[in-house]
Amino acid sequence: MMRSRSGRPPPKACPLPVLGTSGVVGLALLVWFVGWDRGVVTLWVVLIAVPLATDWWGHRKKAADLFGGLST
């Protein structure tokens, strides 16, 4: 893994490119099937809540390191 000049590893990429064409089509079908309002809300939940819940960007680890190793 490459490290930056500060010694920290580079941030993880956004999970969106992992979706690929089938994932984008699936999300579009979801929005079409459940309706625009609920579909957009579901889309935001998928794009924001799931990465946060899985600690995609490492925020929990950073917070734990900052506050003395608090466990979650």
pLDDT band of 62, cuts 50, 70, 90: low
User: How does pLDDT run across 2-22, given as a tens digit for each residue?
Assistant: 555 666 766 665 555 555 676
Is residue 38, in this structure, part of any structural domain at all? Answer: yes
Name the domain count of the chain. 1
Domain membership of residue 31 (yes or no) is: yes
| Residue numbers of the domain that contains 52 | 21-66
pTM score of the predicted model: 0.32
Residue 32 lies in a domain: yes
Q: Taking CA 22 as the corner, what is the angle to CA 20 and CA 19, rounded to the nearest 5 degrees?
A: 35
Asked if the structure places residue 2 within a domain, the reply is no
User: Per the domain annotation, does 50 fall within a domain?
Assistant: yes
Q: How confident is the model at residue 45 (pLDDT cuts 50, 70, 90)?
A: confident
Residue 27 lies in a domain: yes
Instruction: Report residue 18: phi and psi, to 5°.
Output: -70, -25
State CA 50 to chain mean position distance.
Answer: 6
On the question of pLDDT at 65 being above 70, the answer is no
Q: Is 14 within a domain? A: no
- 57 falls within a domain: yes
The confidence score (pLDDT) of residue 14 equals 57
